[in-house]
Structure 1
Amino acid sequence: MTDSKKRKAGPKSLGIILGSAFENEFASKLMLEPEVADTPWGRITLFSSGLSNDRPVYILFRHGLPHSLLPNQINYRAQAAALQQVNCGALLINSSVGVLDPDLPIYKPMLVTDLLMPENRLPDGSTCTMYPEPKAHQGHLLIREGLFSQSLNEQISARHPGSIFKPENGLVFVYAGGPRSKTAAENRMWAQLGGQVNSMTLAPEVVLANELEIPVSALVVGHKYSVPGRINPEVRKIAETLVDAREATESILLDFIEHGEPVVFANQIYRY
């Protein structure tokens, strides 16, 4: 195990954040080497992948490896700071999601294009920002192109034209913080507000990465319908649906590790 400390020099790296479905068989394929990052927010373990010879690639398991953290227990600031320390120039976030739009498929990868997060807060109730207290180099995140990098989305889509489902008007992700699941009334509300998919994570990762000027894409796959009255194809255990969701995105994630490229951050941090 190595220690990344405050290393930010060197070439831009790639980052991937993975969820619950990826801690077993998939992780064993990545030739992982743990690296400890000490951040102002706490200690985080990143895993460098030996699959890529072109540039450093770091994997972050949001719930820990093995899975130990509920969504409300994730140290989002420490994770974002750790990715900044390794000079992340493109971050691909993965999540299994509930589908609120009955016209969308399940078990089909999709790239998020917008975010619905009415309260910009972390699970502990604090503001979702890397700057909860005054500090040097703080600033406002000004959203110019959107929280999801258009160029990174295009890069990933171009390499997988037949694998990624593209809704005609984009894909809106709803952050519905856990650890409990949502009521039928809540799911109806999110859908009426324009939300199409939701999960208990992802949104804080996207916001904090943007504050640190890290371009982000979010690759999601539905593992169930969360639309009241919409019948899921079959009654199955959650663990089984997560396996199907993982298998639908594995090849895209592996390709990003081997062939992904950093992109230019297109939003702006405004500092006085």
Structure 2
Amino acid sequence: MRVGIITGSGSYSWPFLDEATARSVDTPHGSVDVTEGTVGGVEVVHLSRHGKGHQRLSHQVDHRANLAALLALKADALLSFTVCGAVDPAAAPGSLVVFDDLYFPSNRLPDGSPCTWFDTPGQQGRGHWILDAGPFSEPLRRTVARAARDVHDRVVDGGVYGHVDGPRFNTRAEIRALAAAQVTAVSQTAGPEVVLAGEAELPMALVGYVTDYANGVAATPEPVSALLERMAASTGIFAALAARTLAGVDRVPAPGFVHRFDA
């Protein structure tokens, strides 16, 4: 089994990767730098959304290229990690959130185009991703949640991931609107990954590490330095979680199904 791992802010390389080999993958949507290796005997393909040194801000991430690279390298599942801000006060900073739902009503890529692989009339394989439950592979999500409880003391099992556009952070009014939609935590990059993985029928789980409370959630905001400290700690926490997950991972089904018009 081969598992794709996508990381975000603060996680530009993947620690404890055995037999690590860096390469560039050419896709119809652009070139993507990845690192292949193994973790506990499981084949892994890692890529950083933002690139080395945070080269790309959130509105410059090429999600279709990233997912196309993982698909070209025959990933059987995807673990996606993001640092995030808590909208729900119960998701305290320092918590891991293993999401089970998505709030991404704009369904747009950073360039403003629709978030889909199906952008050409008559395209082979075009269709609708129909979710009979949540947008994540529930067997994979449960495996991740069990692993999270083994490696971390603060875990939120379930929750709504809210995708927002960057690169600016949100106003208090915007966070109140997200809270009304029952969003648990928010960040600027994972929404398109969920949709593109779903349309490609690639099983996926999404985990957030809460670095701070979103704007207006806490009565007194923490200093930015606290956010940065947690962001720096996230790589090791995500790596430990991934290693524990991979030790128990197996082939899992994708969520929902794609109704294709040429099937």
TM-score, normalization by structure 2: 0.90
Structure 1 residues 195 and 203: alpha-carbon distance in aligned structure 2, compared to 1, 3 A threshold: same
| Contact residue 87 and residue 217 of structure 2 kept, 8 A | no
- After superposition, give the CA deviation of every residue in 1:171-199 in whole Å (9 maximum; x if it has no partner): 01111110111111111111112111000
Structure 2 partner of 1:166: 156
- After superposition, give the CA deviation of every residue in 1:47-103 in whole Å (9 maximum; x if it has no partner): 1023343x4210011111232001111111111111111221111100000001112
- Whole-Å Cα distance in 2 between the matches of residues 126 and 18 of structure 1? 23
Which of 17, 23, 27 is equivalent to 1:39?
27
Letter in 2 for 1:190: L
* Bigger Cα displacement from structure 2, 74-83 vs 34-43: 34-43
| Contact residue 101 and residue 136 of structure 2 kept, 8 A | yes
- Whole-Å Cα distance in 2 between the matches of residues 129 and 229 of structure 1? 33
Structure 2 partner of 1:245: 234
Residue 205 (structure 1) shift: 0.6
* Bigger Cα displacement from structure 2, 134-143 vs 197-206: 134-143
Structure 1 residues 257 and 22: alpha-carbon distance in aligned structure 2, compared to 1, 3 A threshold: farther
| Contact residue 178 and residue 200 of structure 1 kept, 8 A | yes
**Which 5+ residue runs of structure 2 have no aligned equivalent?**
none
Which of 152, 157, 167 is equivalent to 2:145?
157
Residue 130 (structure 1) shift: 0.9
* Bigger Cα displacement from structure 2, 152-161 vs 209-218: 152-161
Give the alignment of 1:1-272 within 5 angstroms: 12-23=1-12, 27-31=14-18, 32-53=20-41, 55-134=42-121, 135-162=123-150, 163=152, 165-166=155-156, 170-228=158-216, 230-231=218-219, 234-237=222-225, 238-272=227-261
Q: What is the root-mean-square deviation of aligned Cα atoms in Å?
A: 2.0
| Contact residue 32 and residue 69 of structure 2 kept, 8 A | yes
Residue 227 (structure 1) shift: 4.7
SS of match in other structure, 1:245: helix
- After superposition, give the CA deviation of every residue in 1:92-138 in whole Å (9 maximum; x if it has no partner): 10000000111222112110010111111111110000111132112
| Contact residue 171 and residue 215 of structure 2 kept, 8 A | no
Letter in 1 for 2:68: A
* Bigger Cα displacement from structure 2, 230-239 vs 102-111: 230-239
| Contact residue 128 and residue 204 of structure 1 kept, 8 A | yes
- After superposition, give the CA deviation of every residue in 1:145-194 in whole Å (9 maximum; x if it has no partner): 22111110111223343436235xx3011111101111111111111121
* Bigger Cα displacement from structure 2, 183-192 vs 239-248: 239-248
| Contact residue 101 and residue 227 of structure 1 kept, 8 A | no
- Whole-Å Cα distance in 2 between the matches of residues 35 and 260 of structure 1? 25
Aligned identity (percent) is 29
SS of match in other structure, 2:10: helix
- Whole-Å Cα distance in 1 between the matches of residues 72 and 40 of structure 2? 19
Letter in 2 for 1:252: L
Residue 252 (structure 1) shift: 0.4
| Contact residue 222 and residue 245 of structure 1 kept, 8 A | no
TM-score, normalization by structure 1: 0.87
**Which 5+ residue runs of structure 1 have no aligned equivalent?**
1-11
